[in-house]
Amino acid sequence: MIVKADKKRLAVLVSGGGSNMQAILDNTLSGNINAEIVAVISSNADAYALIRAKNYNIPAFVCCLKDYSSPFERDNYILSILDKYRADYVLLAGYLGIISQNLVKKYKNRIVNIHPALLPKFGGKNYHGLNVHKAVIEAGEKRSGATVHFVDENIDTGLIIASQGLDVLPGDTPESLQSRILNEIEHKLFVSVVKDLCDDKIWVENNRVIYKK
């Protein structure tokens, strides 16, 4: 795969449908994001995201935790792919795996996750998929949304880059809230952050996110 020298090289980690990955992909192809997706890595062999990657001839890999002796070993394999494809940034787009220290260290401030809630609330080990939205509704929250953040050693605790909210509506179910957040917020928010990241408008200094809009 030949990538123009000034373009950033993105690796995308996925586990499911890959609609966020598709939004990023569409925007790299249109030229809105100055980058190319050079590899897709899935923790789930049946992820639809893998079919999306194949449709665009993007090198795609499966790394199921059960095939490795530990998350550390799995992430060593992921690191070997990132090195081979010389990834500048790693995007977690609906990736359900937990990133090990070896990967976080090597790609410090270069791994970005999108989380479907307003962090720091409703983040952490058990907050993924519909669980997040169920918890938001059960807590009687008036607002929810999505957050894009750098990935650190813990789950959903890394430095926040940007977030955007919407109203939780009376009668919202976990499914309806998930769908509105995904379609009304996540795709656009992730695209705008990744675009700015690839234009060198976002970086970390003294443990703070600098965002030159």
Enumerate binding residues for ligand GRF (CB under 6 A).
14, 16-20, 93-94, 114-116, 182, 186
User: 100 vs 144, which CB is nearer to ligand GRF?
Assistant: 144
Encode the chain in three state secondary structure.
Answer: CCCCCCCEEEEEEECCCCHHHHHHHHHHHCCCCCEEEEEEEECCCCCHHHHHHHHCCCCEEECCHHHCCCHHHHHHHHHHHHHHCCCCEEEECCCCCCCCHHHHHHCCCCEEEEECCCCCCCCCCCCCCHHHHHHHHHCCCCEEEEEEEECCCCCCCCCEEEEEEEECCCCCCHHHHHHHHHHHHHHHHHHHHHHHHHCCCEEEECCEEEECC
CB 209, min distance to ligand GRF, A:
19
User: 109 vs 144, which CB is nearer to ligand GRF?
Assistant: 144
| Catalytic residue list contains 187 | no
CB 206, min distance to ligand GRF, A:
28
Residue nearest to ligand GRF (CB): 94
Catalytic member of 115, 133, 149, 187: 115
CB 191, min distance to ligand GRF, A:
12
Which residues are tagged catalytic? 115
